[in-house]
Amino acid sequence: MKGIWGGGLVGLLMSISAIGHGADIESYVVGGTPVRPGDDLRWMASLRNTTADTSHFCGGSIVNERWVLTAAHCVVQGDIGNEYTVPPNNLAVMVGTLGSEVTDPSDLYQVSHVVVHPDYSPYAVISITVDDDGKEIKEVTQLALDNDVALLRVNRSFPFPRVSSIKLANSQVAQGLESKLSGEWNEASRPENVMVSGWGSTKSDGTGISDTLMKANLSYLPIADCFNLLERGNDAHYVIDSPTNLTKVCALPPDVLFDHTGAPLNYGPDSCKGDSGGPLVAKNSDGDWVQLGIVSGGPVGTPVCGAYLRPGFYARVGNYYEWIEKNVGTIPEAPVTNPDFIEGGNNEGEGGSGGESGDGKTDEDCNPNVSGISPNNCALIADGGGAVNIFSLVCLLILLCCKKRYD
């Protein structure tokens, strides 16, 4: 990490941890309805862990005949200071089916390349310098779950037109759609103007698994309102840096859900665990679905998902359109392209393939209630531990503020 010395005195580097890493592979859309063949969500993809019964652990969207778009935190694993990118031989993609179980091996596609956005930031880094008067000066040098974008290339072409690619919002399209959606926001009467889809549990506490693809309509939340809900009152901004942030978009439940007796529940529709990497979409003027976001994370609390005033956040596709287009038009030289914060650049991945970690933790150790950044499903475990080094007068303080949408 870069040095943070300032004012002639020591700087204290604080890393806001993304979460304890585990492999409790679950997923769900809270308050969703089953997707039917006529709904034409043929761009949905399921990421599978080949070392754990080829089970679903994240979502994705088909970009073209060989590439899938997903979240970086789905494929970057390991303890802080010992992160690695999951190698292709531990990953597969399933397309062309609504079910979560493998019923036809031909629906599975081997992953040949994993490309993570170079600026992916799994946790916030805050530089605190102390001046000669003892006053602390705090600066967030990178946000938590920022640039949470990755691409997977498969070893053979997807079966078009049985499946199809999603339309991605470029910068101009994103700006226009977001302006329109922001104009529809009404706190007292929330619109249903964006949609998320994924496989798994329908419960707000993250338990249970659905055996079919689910979808839910959500309310697009303007970024300025999202900034206020997530960051108001914080000394530093850990997830969204300003009311004009361009790396994330947000959404909230549009309404209250009710139980079978008609009694209101304490949550509404939302994306949640295991939906990580899946698309947040909106309709353009032609009535076509366009992908605006990639399911990333949300703040910790109860309920785990579906809270009325704790928005989920998504990587903003319009900000990464050119990077995506550039990469899906090439064949990477290496099987793995790491984010810049992982030393070694392009390599074939290090660490284990899930299951049991070097410190004896197993997949069942994932804690969905840990306070911190919460993803939408628990990650694959990295082999080998690795504590953060404490050196000189600089230390790493691990805090938990939110959660990825997989824990």
DSSP string for 335-352: SEE--TTSTTSEES--S-
pLDDT value of position 347:
54
The contacts found for 157-160 with CB under 8 angstroms, 24 or more apart, are 157/65, 157/66, 158/62, 158/65, 158/66, 158/95, 158/96, 158/109, 159/95, 159/96, 160/65
**27-41, 140-154, 156-170, 328-342, range with the lowest pLDDT:** 27-41
Over 50: is that where the pLDDT of 275 sits? yes
E strands along 117-173, which residues? Answer: 124-130, 136-142, 150-154, 167-168
Name the band, by pLDDT with cuts 50, 70 and 90, for residue 8.
very low
Q: Can you give the pTM of this predicted structure?
A: 0.81
Quick: pLDDT tens for 214-251.
999 999 999 999 999 999 888 789 999 999 999 999 99
Q: What is the DSSP letter of 299?
A: E
pLDDT above 60: residue 124? yes
Read out DSSP for 202-245?
Answer: -STTS----SBEEEEEEEEE-HHHHHHHHHTT-SS-SS--STT-
pLDDT band of 406, cuts 50, 70, 90: low
* Adjacent-strand bridge partners of 116: 150
- pLDDT tens, position by position, 43-98: 999 999 999 999 988 999 999 999 999 999 999 999 888 999 999 999 999 999 99
Q: Where are the alpha helices (DSSP H) in 152-222?
A: 171-184
Amino acid identity, position 100: S
* β-pair type (396-399, 11-16): parallel
Q: What is the pLDDT of residue 251?
A: 97
Beta strands 29-30 and 270-271: pairing type?
antiparallel
**What local confidence, expressed as pLDDT, does residue 337 receive?**
97
Apex 383 CA angle, 377 and 388, nearest 5:
90
Mean pLDDT of 286-295: 96
pLDDT attached to residue 127: 85
pLDDT for the residue numbered 37: 87
Q: What is the pLDDT of residues 379-402, one digit of tens each?
A: 433 332 222 222 222 223 333 456
Averaged pLDDT score across all residues of the chain:
79
pLDDT at 218: 96
Which two structure tokens, joined as six digits, stand for 199? Answer: 């496989």
Q: Which residue has the higher pLDDT, 145 or 388?
A: 145
The domain defined by 33-340 folds into Thrombin, subunit H (2.40.10)
pLDDT for residue 357 is more than 60: no
The whole-number average pLDDT for the span 130-142 is 86
Of 8-12, 101-105, 133-137, 344-348, the one with minimum mean pLDDT is: 8-12
- Radius of gyration from C-alpha coordinates of the chain: 20
13 — pLDDT class (breaks 50, 70, 90)? very low
In this prediction, residues 244-268 reach a mean pLDDT of 91
Question: What pLDDT was estimated at residue 217?
Answer: 95
